[in-house]
Amino acid sequence: EAQVTQNPRYLITVTGKKLTVTCSQNMNHEYMSWYRQDPGLGLRQIYYSMNVEVTDKGDVPEGYKVSRKEKRNFPLILESPSPNQTSLYFCAAGVLSQPQHFGDGTRLSIL
């Protein structure tokens, strides 16, 4: 079964405390990406990766980092989280011209 797994599902933390949200896929897909979802704004892409060691900025990359050291994993790193990064985050994986598979989401609250 195709799966994209995100961890943690929920996290409450404080401003400035580095955190990592992990994303793992079991489909050997080249493409992975991160989105954030905010009320009234829909889903916006943060970063994406076309393959191992190939990453690029999406529409809202400020305050985030990513890495793609292996094909199955694409962690999202918040080096110094701030309250405006409180959001619902989704990881997705896919192949060319095909639908993408999404994880169940990570709800981050930064106080």
Q: Which residues bind other proteins (CB under 8 A)?
A: 4, 31, 33, 35, 40-45, 48, 50, 58-59, 88, 90, 92, 94, 96-105, 107
* Structure-token match 């292996």, residue found: 70
- Closest approach, Cβ 29 to other proteins, in A, equals 10
78, 19 contact by CB (below 8 A): yes
Looking at residue 70, its amino acid is: E
Looking at residue 51, its amino acid is: N
Residue 47: phi and psi, rounded to 5, are: -145, 160
- Closest approach, Cβ 83 to other proteins, in A, equals 20
Tell me whether residue 68 or residue 101 sits nearer to other proteins (CB atom): 101
- Closest approach, Cβ 75 to other proteins, in A, equals 17
Tell me whether residue 59 or residue 79 sits nearer to other proteins (CB atom): 59
Residue-level length of the chain: 111
- Closest approach, Cβ 25 to other proteins, in A, equals 13
60, 48 contact by CB (below 8 A): no
Tell me whether residue 72 or residue 102 sits nearer to other proteins (CB atom): 102
- How many CB atoms within 10 Å of residue 48? 20
